[in-house]
Every structure is written in C-alpha cells, then in structure tokens.
C-alpha cells in the first residue's frame, strides 16, 4: 500500500506533531509512506530523521496554490499512490482527484471559521468538501459535528482522537533540563527571546506555561492578561510561552503595556517541546477555538495540572475538577483565578495531574490512533470507494 501524506504547514504545530507521531508507530512499518511538505520547515527535518521518503516544495503555510497542484499531480501520477492523506492541504486533494486517485483522506485538525451565511456559498463549500475527499478523519467529536454542519455526510466521517506516544514523550522530557531560572532569565525589562542557551535555563518556581502556535485563535492574549493578575499573588512566577507565529510581537507589546515583560519568556519554536512541558508547574491552554489540544494531552502525559478553555474538543478530554480545570474562553479573570487555585493547592494540582495522566493512558493512545487510521485506508482500498 503506497501512501502519500501532504502537509502545507511550514510553522510547526499540533498537526505536525500529530503526523510525526502517527508515522512513527510500528503498525505503519508495513506501509510504503512518502511525505510531501514545505522545504526547510520543522516537519521536513523531522521526517528526514525518521528515515521516511520525503518530497519538499517551496510553497508553505498555504492550503491552496495552483502551482503546487500541478507539482503534486505529477508526483501522485508518477508514483501511483493508493492513498493520498491530506493535512491542511487543499492543493493535494485537488491534485489527487485530477490524477484519478480514488482514495483521498483528510484529517481535519481545526474547527475552522464561521460557516458562510449565504446559502449558495454554503452549498458550494459542501460540494467542494465532499467531491475532494473519500474520508474525513475528525480528531474530536466537535470537529465531526462541524463537518456535518458543512454538509459532509456522516458516512464519510471517522472520529479518531489524537494519540500520544507516552514512552517517546517521557524520553524526550529527560533529554534536557530546561526549567527556567527566573533570577537569571528575566533581568532585563523587556520580553526576551530565548537566545539564552538551554543549559542556562534552570530551576525556578512557580512556572505557568503554554505550548502552541502564536495565532489569534489560541487565545494567548488572555493568558498574558491573566498572568498579570496571578503576579499580584505570586510575584515570583514566570510565564513561558513555547511556539512561534504572527502574534508574537503583539503579545510582547501587551506584556510590556501590562508591566510584566520581565516575567514573560517567549522561547520561539522548540523541537524538544516535551522538555519545556516537564518544566511547567501549571499548563494553560487558553484557546478560543480548539480541535482537541495535542499539547494539552502531552502535558497531561507528563503529569502536569491543566487549566483550559471550555471550547471545541477540549471538554471531550477535560472533566472540570476531575482531571483538570475548565474556564470560559476569552475570560482572563476566570483563567487567573484557576491558575492561582492550582498554585495555592498542591494537593489539588497533584490529584488533577494524576487523573490527567490516567485519562491519556486509557483514551488517547498513539497506537490506537495509528491502527484506526490504517483501518480507514484498508477499508477504502477493499471497497474501491471514491
């Protein structure tokens, strides 16, 4: 079985981590897999290290590009892939259909924006969705419901939760000790990029941290505002934001306006994000919209207490007060109170963290994710479905 995975992501994020975890599972060893992705990005480098055949293209972080359609069509036609699996790449879906590939799988990682109000545009969106995919993999029930709202038939939707490779996350977390030392890290009065060497970032508490692409829907603005309130009770605290994206400068300015710049560290993209998750005392996911929350699952794997927005697929993972805390999205006050409650109550934090780890073990296995994904491929090939 020849499978082509195509991702348009240049800036690494949850979808990148999902794909790498999926392809590193032993059950995929029997498939002939190739990955196509933007040249020079984090995904390309990681795929090379896994030893998976790689095809790169210059265009990145754009779902559709006419030139890329032609490039991918030539690739699919020449190598005669049995399955084309698309991740945020409309170009690959169109290319596959143009070459006559009958088995096009799309993993939907995000909820997307508002649905078109115009009924004609909405109908067109539905037709485009259905005509360019044989199956949709939704990483949460929330995304599955969204696909139904977009007009995708339920028979074409498979809900397969993101999975976590627990041994891998634990190994990665031990590679580096990167726990930030506030005294050595935040002496300047400006928000710092993490140009400080990893070996110098050590040992302080309490640390509130988050991991994710710096984009508006991730809600980092509300975490920064919440952290300003947290500092009134915990003046020694630090906020560590791991990830890169277009919101970085805006968030840095906000931290400066709030007078907390010296307590906030933007690390940029970190390949070994697990080492940073291990350093956190509290993991916060302040998303305004979230398909599921892979970084949240990884933090729970490392037994970190989690506070997250009650939105999208997050409440499919977190039961408020049982294995984490849920707060309304875009509510900096509720977020700051929740963070403070975790810092004030070590026993509560420990209990939530232990329950969170159990949740991951029982419901979010990388092996199960990979097995169910392969099952989608096999069923398409056996039935010859379009």
The tokens describing 104, both together, are 């096009």
Distances (CA, A) of 51 to 33, 34, 46, 214: 10, 10, 9, 29
Q: Are 36 and 72 in contact (CB under 8 A)?
A: yes
Strand partners, 4: 34, 84
Is the pLDDT assigned to residue 370 strictly greater than 50? yes
Residues of the chain with CATH 3.40.50.2000: 2-163+365-383, 166-363
More confident residue, 330 or 57: 330
- What are the pLDDT digits (tens) for 119-151? 665 565 666 667 789 999 999 999 999 999 988
The tokens describing 230, both together, are 């947290």
Q: At a CB cut-off of 8 Å and minimum separation 6, what does 69 contact? A: 91, 94, 95, 98
Q: Which CATH number fits domain 2-163+365-383: 3.30.460.10, 3.90.1300.10, 3.40.50.150, 3.40.50.2000?
A: 3.40.50.2000
Which fold would CATH assign to domain 166-363? Answer: Rossmann fold (3.40.50)
Closest among 227, 285, 284 to 255, alpha carbons compared: 227
Confidence class for position 325, pLDDT limits 50, 70, 90: very high
Query: Helix 42-50 crosses helix 14-23 at what angle (to 10 degrees)?
Result: 10
Supply the mean pLDDT for the chain: 88
Mean pLDDT, rounded, for 33-58: 91
pTM of the model: 0.88
- What are the pLDDT digits (tens) for 224-241? 999 999 999 999 899 999
The tokens describing 177, both together, are 């000790």
């Amino acid at each position: 079985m020849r499978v082509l995975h195509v991702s348009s992501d240049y800036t690494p994020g949850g979808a990148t981590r999902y794909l790498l975890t999926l392809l590193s599972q032993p059950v995929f060893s029997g498939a002939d897999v190739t990955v196509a992705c933007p040249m020079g990005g984090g995904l390309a480098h990681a795929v090379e290290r896994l030893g998976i055949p790689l095809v790169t293209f210059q265009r990145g972080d754009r779902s559709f590009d006419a030139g890329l359609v032609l490039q991918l069509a030539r690739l699919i036609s020449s190598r005669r892939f049995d399955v084309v699996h698309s991740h945020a790449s409309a170009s690959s879906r169109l290319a596959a259909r143009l070459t006559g590939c009958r088995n096009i799988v799309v993993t939907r990682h995000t909820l997307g924006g508002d649905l078109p109000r115009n009924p004609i545009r909405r109908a067109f969106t539905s037709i485009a969705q259905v005509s360019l995919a044989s199956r949709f993999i939704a990483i949460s029930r929330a995304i599955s419901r969204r696909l139904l709202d977009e007009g995708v038939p339920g028979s074409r939707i498979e809900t397969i939760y993101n999975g976590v490779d627990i041994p891998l996350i634990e190994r990665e977390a031990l590679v580096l000790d990167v726990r930030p030392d506030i005294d050595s890290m935040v002496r300047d009065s400006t928000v710092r990029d993490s140009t400080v060497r990893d070996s110098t970032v050590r040992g302080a508490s309490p640390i509130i941290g988050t991991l994710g692409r710096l984009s508006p829907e991730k809600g980092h603005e509300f975490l920064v505002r919440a952290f300003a309130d947290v500092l009134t009770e915990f003046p020694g605290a630090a906020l560590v934001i791991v990830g890169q994206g277009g919101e970085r400068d805006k968030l840095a300015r906000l931290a400066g306006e709030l007078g907390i710049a010296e307590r906030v560290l933007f690390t940029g993209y970190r390949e070994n994000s697990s080492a940073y998750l291990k350093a956190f005392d509290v993991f916060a996911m302040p998303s305004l919209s979230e398909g599921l929350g892979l970084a949240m699952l990884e933090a729970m794997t490392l037994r970190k207490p989690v506070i997250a927005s009650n939105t999208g697929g997050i409440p499919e993972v977190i039961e408020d007060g049982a294995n984490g805390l849920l707060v309304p999205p875009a509510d900096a006050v509720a977020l700051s109170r929740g963070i403070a409650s975790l810092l004030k109550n070590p026993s509560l934090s420990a209990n939530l963290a232990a329950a969170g780890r159990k949740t991951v073990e029982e419901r979010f296995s990388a092996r199960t994710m990979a097995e169910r994904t392969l099952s989608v491929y096999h069923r398409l090939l056996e039935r010859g479905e379009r």
